[in-house]
Amino acid sequence: MADTHQDGAGAGADFDLSQFYQIFFEEASENLDQMEQMLLSLDLSAANDEELNGIFRCAHSIKGGAATFGFSDVTELTHRMESLLDRLRRHEITPIPEMVDVLLESADASRSLLARHQSGDEGEPLSTAELVVRIEALAQGLTEIPQVNRSAQAAPAAAPVAAPAAVPVEAVVQPAPVAEQPAEAAVVGTEPPAGARVLHIEIGPLANLELGDSIKELFRDIPGLGSIQDQPSPKADHRLFLVKTVSTDDDLRDLFVFHVSKEQVHISDAAAASPVSESSAEAVEHDEAVEPPNNLPPEEAYGFFAGAPGVPGMLSNAERAAVPAAQKVAPKAAAAHMESTSIRVDVKKVDQLINLVGELVITQAMLAQNSQGLDPAVYQQLLAGLADLDRNTRDLQESVMSIRMIPMSTVFSRFPRMLRDLAGKMGKKIDLITLGEATELDKGLVEKITDPLTHLVRNSVDHGIELPEDRLAAGKSDHGTLTLAASHQGGSIVIEVRDDGRGMNREKILSKARERGMDVSDALPDSEVWQLIFAPGFSTADVVTDVSGRGVGMDVVKRNITSLGGTVEIESNAGQGMKVAVRLPLTLAIMDGMSVGVGEEVYILPLSSVVESFQVNADDVSTVANGTQLVKVRDEYMPVIALERTFKVPRADESQTSNIMVVVEAEGGRVALLVDELLGQHQVVVKNLESNYRKVPNVSGATILGDGSVALILDTGALVRRTRH
């Protein structure tokens, strides 16, 4: 399967991860800094779960990124750190100062290893054998740390010695006391098929613990989902469940989102969380078997965790403190530093900066308006300064706005791998094409649009694109095509998910709607029939799979997009595929606009929507059925909207009529707006009218003019939709 196409055409190419190296190095550096701060502030006598989980997440993030980019040495070290931290956060061992020491030294070593990779793998790689030995010993609960004899590594191997008896784990492992919990509740739901996973699902923090009962009801109500059973939770505001299911983690989170947010759902493998056995044999097998590094001589491997005769023994804490500093891994003074080419700034600070620039734009507009009547000969220097202020303000505004803008490629880059896995799981062949990757979106918008796009892609793979044999039978290529496209259209941002699959079955959707008791008619237009799939719990899938089929997903898409003030439009052709277009309103704080006058009122049109303007005679406007007015522009009839009637603008002179038309384009349609005059083009600061007043039809926002008055910014998309109805 071709993962991605940069230009939307041509053969598939391997996805290049090197473009994300710098981002990884910066995020890894931040995680190491954060880990160091949390370790230094950790109270060993009263370490809480939140602190330990925070340190674990840092190590886990670094390990995941390093594995993705193939930095195996960093992956190995952080994996060992993660194992130690995992046992700490599960309260299987008690934190001691030696653990903090080894984790801090490991963080320094990771920093050095990453710096070497960032510099192109120059220089000798750092040895982490000693750190690995110490981490593994501490992970087993040993309070004495084995010494790695470096000189022995170069000497001939000694005769093999018998492996010493393992140290009993119960002598050193000190589990944290757990409060007495009530007896476990009965199992709810149905027994899942063979091969089901056994999970621990922790929900919380919860203000109302009864929300957990609502989640349990899902397993009772949805056949085939699996079974759920209450477990004692160590946290008063959390619910803990033992779940047996074939569903994926993503599907479970999507299912629970009706009751709790995704951030409140914590899923882990129950098999990996089994309690520590008291037998030495089981202790070695627990979680991940502790093995000595491959490069240790046999005699040191045998004596890895015990001071057997003839092999390196345990060092006491005092002896370990006396080890020369030169033997310690990655001392901080000599540690290499990773270079950073960017800084992370709190989003609130950026928002404050944008607001201040907005006020500057308003002030500049006021000065420009008040200076219009000045004599250029007398006030030449002042007017030249105001012109410079105008230019500098625009440049400053563009620079500040670009800080929050992120290219769409950041969102699209996560889909090739997901699509590859889904296609392989379902036995389908799918090519991914991405268009408009350079289209920039506001950071807040990018974060909110990712989940809806994920649902749409999964839906296309499962329901839309057919199996290879079915496509060949229908006269198609055995490879399906999924296209992700982003573009700016008429002041809006449009993101499309298109596939060349089977399309939607109108009759099947209507039949399912009737089964659910929905009031539908065979006379419904296609556009309204397609919208039925957004109903909560609506699904046309015949079989529930781990990809889809439970009716959870499309309604989440609609709800998330609507919360952003956007719309979702669907087009489908049977046997040819479907297109889902997500259209989001203008969210930028400052925009270029054209101001028009109607009576005493001033309205702002987004300049990106304006096509042309012209004068018109009354005879050029024709009235058709239902009072709709049309105007002919170069052999094309275009609907007319008189802003005077739409917004009920009062006139001092009743005999005055509008004779200027401004053609605007939005959502694939055009409309001619009838206005009195064109006032000019300038930057305007967008103010949210809904949060400051209320939602007004056909209006997307408001702005403050140079004279201090308020002007409404027209929603050109809503005006175009109005003419269609």
Task: Name the residue among 639, 680, 675, 631 with its Cα closest to residue 656.
Answer: 675
Q: How many residues in the chain?
A: 725
Select, from the ranges 166-170, 198-202, 439-443, 549-553, the one with the highest average predicted confidence (pLDDT).
198-202
pLDDT digits 0-9 by tens, 354-386: 888 888 888 888 898 888 888 888 999 999 999
CA distance 244 to 249: 12
Strand order in the sheet with 699-704: 677-685, 590-598, 601-606, 710-714, 699-704
Residue 2 pLDDT level (bands cut at 50, 70, 90): very low
Place of tokens 């009195």: 676
Query: Do residues 480 and 501 touch, judged by C-beta distance below 8 A?
Result: yes
Give the distance, in angstroms, between the CA of residue 59 and the centroid of all CA atoms in the same chain: 20
pLDDT exceeds cutoff 70 at 500: yes
Note the pLDDT of residue 518: 80
pLDDT at 441 exceeding the cut of 60: yes
Residues 667-691 have pLDDT tens digits of 668 899 999 999 988 778 777 777 7
Contact 35, 107 (CB under 8 A): yes
Report the distance separating Cα 332 and Cα 104, nearest Å.
10
Instruction: Read off the pLDDT band of 497 (50, 70, 90).
Output: very high
Task: For residue 697, count other CB atoms closer than 10 A to its CB.
Answer: 10
Helix (H) / strand (E) containing 210: none
Secondary-structure percent of the chain, ordered helix, strand, coil, rounded to 5: 40, 20, 40
Higher pLDDT, 386 or 634: 386
Q: Residue holding tokens 């931040």? A: 30
| Predicted local distance difference test score (pLDDT) of residue 392 | 92
d(CA 175, CA 153): 36
Enter the CATH code of domain 407-581: 3.30.565.10
Place of tokens 């594995």: 67
Q: What is the sign, positive or negative, of the torsion defined by CA atoms of 716, 720, 723, 725?
A: negative
Report the pLDDT value the prediction gives residue 3, as an integer from 0 to 100. Answer: 42
pLDDT at 118 over 80: yes
As a whole number of angstroms, the distance between CA 118 and CA 370 comes to: 55
Alpha carbon dihedral 129, 135, 140, 144, in 10-degree steps, equals 90
Q: In 340-433, where does DSSP find H-type helix? A: 347-370, 380-403, 409-412, 415-426
* H helix or E strand, kind and range, residue 544: none
Express each pLDDT in 272-301 by its tens digit.
654 433 333 333 333 343 444 444 443 333
pLDDT over 90 percentage in the chain: 10
At residue 143, the pLDDT reads: 65
Q: Are 278 and 173 in contact (CB under 8 A)?
A: no
Q: What is the C-alpha separation between 247 and 256, in angstroms, rounded? A: 12
Mean per-residue pLDDT, 710-723: 85
Please tell me the predicted confidence (pLDDT) of residue 166: 35
- Give the CA dihedral 581, 583, 588, 592, nearest 10 degrees: 100
Instruction: Compute the average pLDDT of residues 427-456.
Output: 85
pTM summary value: 0.44
The pLDDT, as a whole number, for residue 602 is 92
Query: Across the strands, what pairs with 595?
Result: 604, 680
Distance CA 55, CA 368 (A): 55
Are residues 228 and 219 in contact, defined by beta-carbon separation less than 8 angstroms? yes
Least confident of 28-37, 162-171, 660-669: 162-171
At residue 469, the pLDDT reads 93
**Closest of 284, 318, 309 to residue 137, by C-alpha:** 284
The first and second tokens of residue 558, run together, are: 């609609």
Phi-psi region of 322 (alpha: psi -120 to 50; beta: other; left: phi over 0): alpha
User: Which tokens sit at 256?
Assistant: 């629970």
Q: Is the pLDDT of residue 340 over 50?
A: yes
- Please say if the pLDDT value at position 226 is more than 50: yes
The alpha carbon torsion through 145, 149, 150, 155 (nearest 10 deg) reads: -160
3-state secondary structure of 598: strand
Backbone angles phi, psi at 605, to 5 degrees: -110, 130
Of residues 580, 534, 581, the one with CA closest to residue 555: 534
In one-letter notation, the amino acid at residue 653 is D
Q: How far is residue 81's CA from residue 89's CA, in Å, rounded to a whole number?
A: 12
* Structure tokens, 662: 């401004």
The pLDDT assigned to 370 comes to 86
User: If one looks up domain 590-724 in CATH, what number appears?
Assistant: 2.40.50.180
- Match domain 188-273 to its CATH number in 3.40.190.290, 3.30.70.260, 3.40.50.300, 3.40.50.720: 3.30.70.260
Residue 702: its pLDDT value, please? 86
Contact 680, 594 (CB under 8 A): yes
Instruction: Give the least confident one: 162-166, 251-255, 476-480, 608-612.
Output: 162-166
Give the model confidence (pLDDT) of 484-496 as tens digits. 999 877 557 889 9
The architecture of the domain spanning 18-152+166-173+287-334 is Up-down Bundle (1.20)
Q: How many beta carbons lie within 10 A of that of residue 615, not counting itself?
A: 8
| Every domain of the chain and the residues it spans | 18-152+166-173+287-334, 188-273, 352-403, 407-581, 590-724
Q: How far apart are CA 501 and CA 504, in angstroms?
A: 9
